[in-house]
Amino acid sequence: MKVTVLGCGYVGLVSGVCFAEFGVNVVCCDLDKEKIDKLMKANVPIYEPGLESLLKKNINENRLSFSYNLGDSIPSSDLIFIAVGTPARRGDGHADLSYVYQAAEDLAPLLEGYTVVVDKSTVPVGTARNVKKIISDLNPDADFDVASNPEFLREGAAISDFMRPDRVVIGVENKRSENLLRELYRPTNLIEAPIISTDLESAELIKYASNAFLATKISFINEMSMICEKTGADIHAVARGMGLDNRIGRKFLHPGPGYGGSCFPKDTKALARIASENGISSRIVETVIEVNEIQKMRMIEKICHAIGENADTKKIAILGLTFKPETDDMRDAPSLTILPELIKRGIKINAHDPKGVEEAKKILPSSVEYFDDIYKSMEGADAVVLMTEWNVYRNMDMLIVKEKLNTPIFIDLRNVYEPKEMQDYGFDYFSVGR
């Protein structure tokens, strides 16, 4: 079996490498020649634990290669995965499908023999049928089917998620295409991961519905944290008591500065737009989006309250910039909202992040000063703000932290530390929902 993956971004690269690990021959294609040249030399452009070593292994075993010429692989491929970006369109929140449709146009004249063209990108309902029409119009004699195969990858755990998934969802129109996809994913089925076969539209909607539901859990627990702060309840106790109910579950009940990343912000907005275009009011999803924005604003006010008056004379150390640990992804990270607003109020920012600094430099205000050493970032600062729960921040020497700061103020937006313990160290400690 031969697979071509169009797009060497996060989803495309992880998928291509993992398909190769399944034992099939994979060519990953991208129009970015510089990116392909780096990948040919086994230089991975993103940080994802385990990805680089797996990529090198499969290159060395001749199952994985890279190209910027679609003609090198598409004619001989059994399956072609479209894994290009679908960013939120400016102005209306709808997914920008221009890259998906361009990929369909580019591959259409190159098809030879029976091929299944698979949407791997997160796309609105109806996209697969539009891809089918584009290809049919450009190559009426092509023997092909379309399918939808949404990804469910968590950044920082993508390899494990791909190799040992909760489920594999395939949207198909017939058994011929279904059988080919089932054969590709057979290694996951051997570990009893269910392969769910649906129609095209259901598969497309499953991804949006899943992400919107998880985002709902996050926004809900963040809203509960507000109530906890006003009533004296402890959000950790509330979340624990809720999560032990099997109908609810423990995951995604962790309060914080709001969700971010490449999926939840984009997909909730796209789902709300899909509903609107079909004459439906998606009030729950719309409120989830609103609550998430409110939470970020709450964190700004929490920080300003903690450091007190004369903000324009203060400096704070920010620990963590990425939207979550174990990734260098800065897309829609809470820091992108919180830090510029703090800077507008005159606050000086020192920042540290294990992997996100280079991306942060491209998009955060130039006044942010970056540090390679955690403790040096705190020197002369009036407070520490723990923004992202990287493991390196979980076991800091609090005596050193206190020594470095002008004032012992610790603002923990991820509730990593225990309030009493921090108070015993002599910190003015602020957390979320406690």
Tell me which residues are annotated as active site. 263
Could you tell me the sign of the dihedral formed by the alpha carbons of 195, 198, 200, 203, in that order? Answer: negative
